Amino acid sequence: MNDTFLKACQGKKTDYTPVWLMRQAGRYLPEYQKVRSKVDFLTLCKTPELAAEVTIQPVDILKVDAAILFSDILVPIEPMGMKLEFSESKGPILYDPIRNDIAVSKLRRIKAEDDVPFVMETIRMLVKKLNVPLIGFSGAPFTLATYMIEGGSSKNYVNTKKMMYQTPELYANLMEKITDTVINYLQAQINAGVHAIQVFDSWAGILSPFDFEKYALPYVQKIIAAFKGKVPVIYFAFNASAMLKKVKQSGADVLGIDWRIDISDAVSALGNDVTVQGNLDPCILFGTKDLIRDRVAGILHGAKGAKGHIFNLGHGILPETPVENAISMVEAVHELSSKNSR
């Protein structure tokens, strides 16, 4: 197996900088669209043969150095007791949002092996077929809580912040249940064979640094502590470039960086004892191949002071992205980094 990605997670010397893309299995690939045209999104997530197929597609097409399990961060929320639906126009919808004590008390802590067995079966299929490491993942507790409280996506997260500020004990009870579920879910993925895990905190950036430290970070720290030394743990707090020093307190082996900060500034803020992941603006992939190559070179150079570097986008690849440009980016990372290996 090509273990370059795992070595980079650990800050070990690599022959080149490994690369993978968030949402690399997705709508920008015609091969994915062909599979997706036959089933709805949740059915795709819950059908191991199909989920494994679309997980492998970008590894074969893009030649990336890691695969990430095809699933969704909301998958473990459904067995906690919430009805989940994905709308093509509105995105995820969670019915009967969690707003009071009764609603929180009804939520159950899942047993992932029994409640989402399709995820584990997909993983077991993949580890037999892949020649690169497989990344498992979950949403971070705060991000999952926002969906559960708001009932879906939100512009201002008023209901979430009301619960945080007006009924902190209720908020803490909800977060503890979610945290226990995430730990169980990730442990089951590790037991099934994933080589690394990523915790996605997609909405961490809606919080002030003070509120991040008080209302989100302690739960992430509990999760990461549960897996320290078992497999590499990546924490990606999106839109949190202004509070990287607090993000580092998560204890993760690898910290994902979005494109809103120069990666050299992120490395300076974080220090040289952590691996960084990122941080190309996904829209750069709409540029010319020369532009893509130039920006790749800049990021590779800017990350040299870090303990290790995994190249990635600063967020998920966009559905309209030309496949040939994504391939060109991966090739540029491999070529340019191998000329002056870490």
Give catalytic residues, as residue numbers: 23, 27, 36, 72, 147
Is 277 in contact with 256 (CB distance < 8 Å)?
Answer: yes
Residue type, 62: L
Task: Please report the DSSP string for 6-37 in residue order.
Answer: HHHHTT---SS--B--TT-SSTT-HHHHHHHT
CA 141 to centroid of chain Cα atoms: 13
- The tokens describing 233, both together, are 């743990």
d(CA 342, CA 338): 8
d(CA 234, CA 227): 11
Query: Considering only CA atoms, which of 222, 282, 279, 278 is closest in space to residue 252?
Result: 222
Q: Tell the burial category of 177 from Cβ atoms under 10 Å away from its Cβ (0-12, 13-18, 19+).
A: buried
- The tokens describing 9, both together, are 């997670």
